[in-house]
């Protein structure tokens, strides 16, 4: 039995692969065909919705009718997305769902203000429900992204701006760490994890909620303290990720490897606290490297470069302070890498002497 056959047999025994005599042949379209179909789907949807809006412009003046029409569009999008996979139909369903959500939000804004806490909480819950139930990968990513953003605005409005990024970061880490543990929900977990990852990168940029800080200054009583608390909680989540990965690789906590890993994680987290977002980027890199996930690793690297550049060109602190912080972080990483390399060489040498 070849190695590939053994792997297939092992996956079948663990119920990770359905045993069948012949695998169905799936014709995967090239990426440029998918892009053209997506553009065609959105163009057709725009023409249809434009004609629909002009025809029913008088009916949509009623708030109740607008909300019911939005719900009907959401249900129609659900059944379209449940149909056999087609890039064209998927984007039509996504556009239909987005239009329905806009109509519902428009109806709600007739009775609530934009800075009302309840409407943002309702939006976050609604988007998370859509991310769970809508049978489309793109729709789940989009809904998880919007739900996380709505939740962050809600947390800021209730006076807890130091917690929302940590909560989103923890849920994002949990989803990536437990992606394959519930077999029937793997597509849901992966799509929601992507959406939360993108929202985390956006939220940690600290520019997406500036409209709220400018117009609602009483939301944040002490921005500096909130930033340090936020980064401290992010550092704890980075430690949580390290602990879970050590358990996964069956490394005992009393071993030298475990203590070195936890100490290095804590040291890197503390050294990165002054640069907002860098801890979250490092977490994405670690998760991507641990799962051999190139897209996640790439997102982590790109976001880390962005956060470093943003921190270096920010005007809140002096250039000398920023340079000193980055030098400390760089030296910390170099010392840890060199120490780990020397320790690994000594361990290999000791093992070779034992075998001799």
Per residue in 68-104, pLDDT (tens digit) is 888 998 999 899 888 766 777 888 888 888 888 888 8
Place 42 in a pLDDT band, splitting at 50, 70 and 90: confident
The reported pLDDT for the residue numbered 15 is: 61
Q: How far is CA 56 from CA 50, 93, 207, 327, in A?
A: 10, 20, 38, 62
Which carries the bigger pLDDT value, residue 233 or residue 258? Answer: 233
The whole-chain average pLDDT of the chain stands at 79
Phi/psi at 293 (5° precision): -105, 100
Within its chain, how far is the Cα of 170 from the centroid?
A: 10
How would residue 25 be classed by pLDDT, with cut points 50, 70 and 90? very low
- State the maximum Cα–Cα separation within the chain, in Å, rounded to a whole number: 89
Q: With b meaning 16 or more CB within 10 Å and e meaning fewer, what string describes 162-187? A: bbbbbbbbbbbbbbbbebeeeeeeee
pTM: predicted TM-score of the whole model, two decimal places: 0.79
Lowest mean pLDDT: which of 132-141, 248-257, 324-333, 339-348?
339-348
Q: How does pLDDT run across 159-184, given as a tens digit for each residue?
A: 777 788 889 999 999 999 988 887 78
**pLDDT (0 to 100) of residue 24:** 46
pLDDT at 129 over 90: yes
Average pLDDT over residues 217-234: 66
pLDDT tier, 346 (very low <50, low <70, confident <90, very high otherwise): confident
Q: Kindly give the residue spans of alpha helices, DSSP state H, lying in 110-163.
A: 117-133, 137-157
């Amino acid at each position: 039995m070849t190695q590939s056959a053994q792997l297939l047999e092992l996956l079948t025994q663990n119920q990770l692969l359905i045993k069948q005599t012949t695998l169905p042949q799936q014709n995967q379209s090239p990426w440029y065909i998918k892009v053209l179909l997506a553009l065609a789907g959105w163009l057709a949807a725009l023409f249809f919705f434009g004609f629909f809006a002009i025809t029913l412009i008088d009916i949509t003046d009623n708030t109740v009718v607008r909300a019911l029409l939005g719900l009907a569009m959401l249900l129609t999008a659900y059944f379209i997305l449940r149909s056999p996979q087609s890039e064209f139909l998927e984007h039509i369903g996504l556009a239909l769902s987005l239009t329905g959500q806009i109509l519902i939000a428009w109806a709600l804004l007739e009775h609530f203000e934009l800075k009302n806490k309840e409407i943002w909480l309702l939006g976050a819950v609604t988007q998370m429900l859509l991310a769970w139930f809508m049978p489309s990968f793109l729709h789940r990513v989009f809904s998880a992204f919007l739900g996380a953003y709505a939740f962050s605005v809600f947390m800021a409005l209730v006076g807890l701006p130091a917690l929302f990024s940590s909560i989103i970061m923890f849920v994002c880490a949990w989803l990536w760490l437990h992606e394959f543990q519930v077999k029937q929900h793997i597509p849901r977990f992966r799509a929601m994890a992507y959406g939360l990852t993108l929202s985390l990168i956006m939220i940690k940029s600290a520019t997406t909620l500036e409209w709220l800080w400018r117009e609602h200054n009483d939301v944040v009583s002490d921005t500096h303290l909130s930033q340090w608390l936020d980064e401290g909680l992010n550092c704890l989540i980075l430690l949580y990720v390290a602990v879970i990965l050590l358990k996964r690789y069956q490394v005992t906590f009393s071993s030298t490897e475990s203590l070195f890993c936890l100490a290095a994680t804590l040291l890197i987290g503390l050294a990165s606290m002054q640069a907002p977002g860098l801890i979250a980027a490092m977490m994405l890199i670690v998760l991507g490297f641990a799962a051999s996930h190139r897209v996640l690793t790439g997102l982590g690297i790109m976001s880390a470069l962005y956060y470093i550049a943003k921190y270096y060109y920010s005007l809140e602190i002096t250039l000398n302070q920023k340079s000193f912080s980055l030098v400390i972080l760089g030296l910390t990483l170099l010392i840890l890498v060199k120490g780990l390399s020397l320790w690994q060489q000594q361990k290999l040498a000791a093992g070779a002497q034992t075998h001799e």
